[in-house]
Amino acid sequence: MTSQPTKKTAAPAVGGHGLQAGLKDRHLSMIAIGGVIGAGLFVGSSSGIATAGPGILLSYALVGTLVVLVMRMLGEMSAANPTSGSFSAHADRALGRWAGFSIGWLYWFFWVVVLAVEATAGAVILEGWIPAVPQWAWALIVMIVLTATNLVSVGSYGEFEFWFAGIKVVAIAAFIVIGGLAVFGVLPGVDSEQAGLSNLTGHGGFLPNGPGAILTGVLLVVFSFMGSEIATLAAGESENPQKAVTKATNSIIWRVAVFYLGSILVVVSLLPWDSKAIAEDGSYVAALDSLGIPHAGQIMNFIVLTSVLSCLNSGLYTASRMAFSLGQRGDAPKGFGRTTGNGVPRAAILASVAFGFVAVFFNYKFPDSVFLFLVNSSGAVALFVWLVICFSQLRMRRIIQREAPEKLVVKMWLYPYLTWATAALIVFVLGYMLTDTEHDGRKTVLLSLLVAALVLIVAFVKEKVGAGRGAAAAVAGPDVEDAEDASPGKVKTG
């Protein structure tokens, strides 16, 4: 399995027979900003706070640094070669067909499972508002509506995501401003006795459960960062892909700092980390309640629903574009690599949403067996993707420098040392997860490794079969050509 550094990765054409440049600059900007804000930030942060206390800030900072470094590597490769396959296409060229095939299908698997998770989460909220419609019907409605928007055009996806992401961004920005004013005691009309920076060191100190809780916190928050790479996939359908990738890469630092670290800092400053309200109501709802804001729960439900719909919308888009890229490279059915007249990969979208529907069915019928297996077996894919990006960038930098050095408009810092350090940190996190039995870390890694091993076996078999057919065709080439020329209806030209 050797890499093929001189091979040109097939890039989708822009026009009637390929993906179209239907995403505007404002779409890409909001996709880049909103992509890093997942529903997991609102829903999952409470468990991290309960585990690490105020020290969860270090967990978020550690994972945030990891994401910034990985995105810098991905930005370097994607700015030089923007493509809908993103890191899968880069791995294909830098490491070999087996790598692009494996990580592409694992990433697709991750997002189609996410479709089911998010559809169910959205259905729970909607059923609470309108109980006359059963939960399964809400999940069906949500999936159908967002499938329809993706089937119309990439522009309709971009427009929906622009507004979904916009609501998330405005909500978190408002939360940080209002909460920050309350922490410093200058919010008019609010007298919160609990709020203050003293919450960071009181109640057992900054690390009440010891330094080891920082790493446990990492395991709980790492998956909420998945989605930051979506901008590099979407850039292939913009008018200026290189500019879009460069902008998204350069802005990742402040996005992580503001939306993750900033909002969590406000939460743990407004309330003691061990407040029962955080565990019972969720971190953001509890923080809003502490300020006496009316209907805080419903406000947060609306924001979470928006995040869920955004994640669903982007998940379907991302899964379909990865399937499209795999189809273009011959690693998926050829139909996946075809588009409609308006540049929509219809077959790739329908195949992705079909698996999503099946996963939703499993969630209702077998939530504690089949669906739990799907969720756990895709849980570590984010870390696998980041690791492959590291190794791809190590090889791709040399390829770009040799073939087109002028395309290195984005460069990874301290190459190759920081790349190796990032890869080592990812491996360390995976290793630490194997020691975690309390939060299912070991189960998640082992099941994800099992699925990854199965996909790798398929990749190796496919490559061996392809190589065998290629060798057979090379030997029988002249005879085959004569046979084709002699076949009925064959017109020989030239």
Higher pLDDT, 326 or 229: 326
Q: Which of 43-57, 238-252, 258-272 has the lowest mean pLDDT?
A: 238-252
Residue 349 burial (CB count, 10 A): 23
| Domain spanning 25-463: CATH superfamily | Amino acid/polyamine transporter I (1.20.1740.10)
- Asked if the model's pLDDT at residue 455 lies above 50, the reply is yes
The 10s digit of each residue's pLDDT in 458-494 is 999 988 887 777 666 666 655 544 444 444 434 333 3
Q: What is residue 55's predicted lDDT score, i.e. its pLDDT?
A: 94
How far, CA to CA in Å, does 283 sit from each of 44, 90, 214? 9, 39, 18
The 10s digit of each residue's pLDDT in 116-135 is 888 888 898 899 999 999 98
Structure tokens at 322: 């990865």
Q: What is residue 16's predicted lDDT score, i.e. its pLDDT?
A: 42
Q: How far apart are CA 204 and CA 301, in angstroms?
A: 31
Q: What is residue 28's predicted lDDT score, i.e. its pLDDT?
A: 84
The 10s digit of each residue's pLDDT in 152-194 is 988 898 999 899 888 988 999 999 999 999 888 887 766 566 7
Mean pLDDT computed over 30-52 = 80
- DSSP letters of 383-412? HHHHHHHHHHHHHHHHHHHHH-GGG--S--
pLDDT band at 7 (very low <50, low <70, confident <90, very high): very low
Nearest to 7 by CA among 138, 100, 116: 100
Mean pLDDT computed over 231-238 = 84
Q: How far apart are CA 21 and CA 14, in angstroms?
A: 6
Q: What is residue 447's predicted lDDT score, i.e. its pLDDT?
A: 93
Nearest to 58 by CA among 270, 267, 264, 203: 264
SS3 254: helix
Mean pLDDT computed over 359-372 = 86
Q: What is residue 290's predicted lDDT score, i.e. its pLDDT?
A: 86
Query: Mean pLDDT across the chain, nearest whole number?
Result: 85
